[in-house]
Chain A
Amino acid sequence: MENHERKDLTDAELDVLLHAWQTPIAPARLRSAVFPKQSVAWYRRWLMASIRIPVPVAIALSVLVVMALWQWGSTRERAGAESARKSFASAPPTITFQGFLPVAELRPRIIRSHHARN
């Protein structure tokens, strides 16, 4: 480089020199390194994708999702209770109430008012 700087080449000489300069052939990987191919896996594209949503819309959607989940949970809980209710329809009760068992059959005993007065 220093030799080139020290030589005082004219513009014409530089033009000749540039035309005569043989540039090395770029390696094949250089292009792919500088300009990567767009053939990214579809799932990576999905993962890296983004949607621009206005903040009010995002908040409204979040509220709707929370409300829907709450409603769904509530419905499931009620359905479970009703299911348990139906499942006991044919089974005798086995749960105790403060140590007492529900009777198997309600048998009304009539206490006549004249009997009570006697």
Chain B
Amino acid sequence: MRAIRIIGIFLIAILPAAADGPERRGTKGVSTGMGFANGIKVNATVYVEPAGPRSVFDNMSFGIYTASGDKYHRVVEDDTQRAYFGYDISTERIPNSDRIRVTIAPLSASVDELEAFGVSHKIVGFRFLVLPRYPAPVVVESGDTIALDLLVSPDGKQKIVDYLEISRKPAINLKH
């Protein structure tokens, strides 16, 4: 009986960590949901890994904007550097399967469009950084997560990662 109680306490202790998955051992930042017009949901959550102070996210903002619901713009801003970068994400159901094609592409929204989307800061005058390379489309299943490294410390030991949880159903409130 005592052994069962100890196992129970152990399970309760490890459950939150298991819910976050083995790949996530960092400090959670902001989480944002995307609802695509084709019914696919993507929940984007930013982590700093390994875990660090939340002040890492100070003066940075991670926004999600869309005009049509077919494509979302992920924008990462730094107010102090007055710079931003990002990517576009679009999804496509693969017919006769449970699989979803996810495309990560260069950020296509212009300054005017971002302003029209209601970016919290006046982005005009910010430097726009284009990442040199973008990946080919990936195929996932509902429930899979795509991890994208966005920023990395100069020594390479710490990074800021975007976790994109893909689902066909309405996004569940994931406990990270």
Chain A residues engaging chain B, CB cutoff 8 angstroms: 77-78, 80-82, 84-85, 88-90, 92-93, 95-113, 115-116
Q: Does B30 contact A (CB under 8 A)?
A: no
Is the Cβ of A108 less than 8 Å from the Cβ of B135? yes
Q: In the assembled complex, how far is the CB of residue A101 from the closest CB belonging to chain B, in whole angstroms?
A: 6
Contact (Cβ within 8 A) B23 A81: no
Can you list 12 A-B pairs with a CB-CB distance of less than 8 A? A78-B111, A84-B127, A90-B130, A92-B132, A95-B81, A95-B127, A100-B153, A103-B150, A108-B146, A110-B138, A110-B147, A111-B144
Residues of A within 8 A of B133 (CB): 104-106
How distant is B157 from chain A, measured CB to nearest CB, in Å? 11
Task: Using C-beta atoms within 8 Å of the partner chain, give the interface range for chain B.
Answer: 35 or more
- Which one of B7-15, B34-42, B55-63, B65-73 is at the A interface? B55-63
Identify whether the interface residues of A are mostly helix, strand, loop, or mixed.
mixed
Residues of A within 8 A of B85 (CB): 93, 102
CB distance from A72 to the nearest CB of B (A): 15
* A contact residues around B56 at 8 Å (CB): 98, 100
The proximity string for B residues 69-99 relative to A, scoring 1 for CB distances below 8 Å and 0 otherwise, is: 0000000101011010101000000000000
B129 interface residue (CB < 8 Å to A): yes
Residue in A78, A88, A95, A96 whose CB lies within 8 Å of B130 = A88
B140 close to chain A: CB less than 8 A: yes
In the complex, are the beta carbons of A97 and B60 less than 8 A apart?
Answer: yes
Query: CB distance A81 to B78 under 8 Å?
Result: no
Q: Are B152 and A103 in contact (CB under 8 A)?
A: yes
